[in-house]
Amino acid sequence: MSGYLTPKKKVWVADLVAKKAHGEKWAMLTAYDYATARTFAAAGIECLLVGDSAANVVYGYETTNHISLDEMAYLGAAVVRGAGNALVVIDLPFGTYEASDEQCVRTATELVRRTGANMVKLEGGSRIAPRIRALKQAGLAVCAHVGFTPQSVDNLSGFKVQGRDDSADQLRADTEAVTEAGADMAVFEMVPADLATELTAACPAPVIGIGAGAGTDAQVLVWHDMADFPAGDHRARFVQRFGSIGADLAAAAADYKRAVHTGQFPAPEHTF
């Protein structure tokens, strides 16, 4: 692992708040298992998200709404074991926190206890502010998620940019509500860049953007998108590919198959 940039000491929320104060950008990536968590932490990624996007890219469900608490907990525990000094955030799955503050706190404490994650994330703006307040009172660190919220894809009538024109004021109100409720960080998903920049400047908590332009404090991508490991046919406009893991893995598998079929593998040096 020489030459790697593993954060030298544990990353805390306060470190990310300090980075915001100094105008220093930082990076978040999703992770769903031990090996990728180790790799991303070793690359110096400050923050790992055990996203409920695992529903799509790990479990092959059509939407994030199918993933269960158990399915999240097993992945989260593996990520935390590999995360080193990176701060680990985990999503509260759909259906496990909306009904009441009590349900939300019960779910979040169970998830943190079972995984060791540092922070929980939940989707929604003003409507979810009471849940954020309850989580803070229970002593948990909380990340809000506003703008496009995938768990509400049906309610939002599809994958759409949020906060355009008339709905900009709703996004302003949502950001203010989650901040006042005590959110330690906020994700802005699919928000016009100028609005995201305005709200990031007004928000005391670090803001992480995905499809929200360059004016947020940090960026997050689903790692399969970042490294081009396709788990479906759709590619969002906000994604940039920084690798070609899918093609590399397919080529490695084809080479392996050829070597087995031709008897070239295993060679004498692989044999006891």
Please state whether 121 falls in left (phi above 0), alpha (psi between -120 and 50) or beta. beta
Cβ 138 to ligand KIV, closest distance in Å?
A: 22
Nearest to 109 by CA among 85, 73, 84: 73
25 annotated as a binding-site residue: no
Q: Which C-beta is closer to ligand KIV: that of 22 or that of 80?
A: 80
Q: How far apart are CA 95 and CA 65, in angstroms?
A: 8
33 annotated as a binding-site residue: no
Q: Is 189 a catalytic residue?
A: yes
Q: Which C-beta is closer to ligand KIV: that of 72 or that of 129?
A: 72
Q: Which two tokens stand for residue 89?
A: 């955030």
Q: Which C-beta is closer to ligand KIV: that of 159 or that of 265?
A: 159
Residue nearest to ligand KIV as judged by C-beta position: 51
Cβ 51 to ligand KIV, closest distance in Å?
A: 2
Q: Which C-beta is closer to ligand KIV: that of 45 or that of 210?
A: 210
Cβ 268 to ligand KIV, closest distance in Å?
A: 46
Q: Which C-beta is closer to ligand KIV: that of 131 or that of 145?
A: 145
CB-CB contact of 120 with 92 (8 Å): yes
Q: Which of 71, 189, 198, 269 is catalytic?
A: 189
Task: By CB under 6 A, name the binding residues for ligand KIV.
Answer: 30, 49, 51-53, 91, 145, 187, 189, 210, 220, 222
CB-CB contact of 64 with 151 (8 Å): yes
69 C-beta neighbours (distance < 10 Å), count: 16
Q: How far apart are CA 27 and CA 206, in angstroms?
A: 12
- Which amino acid would we find at residue 69? L
123 annotated as a binding-site residue: yes
Q: Residue ranges for the binding site?
A: 52-53, 91, 121, 123
Known binding-site residue numbers for 3-methyl-2-oxobutanoate:
52-53, 91, 121
Binding site per annotation, positions for Mg(2+) = 52, 91, 123
Which active-site residues does the annotation give? 189
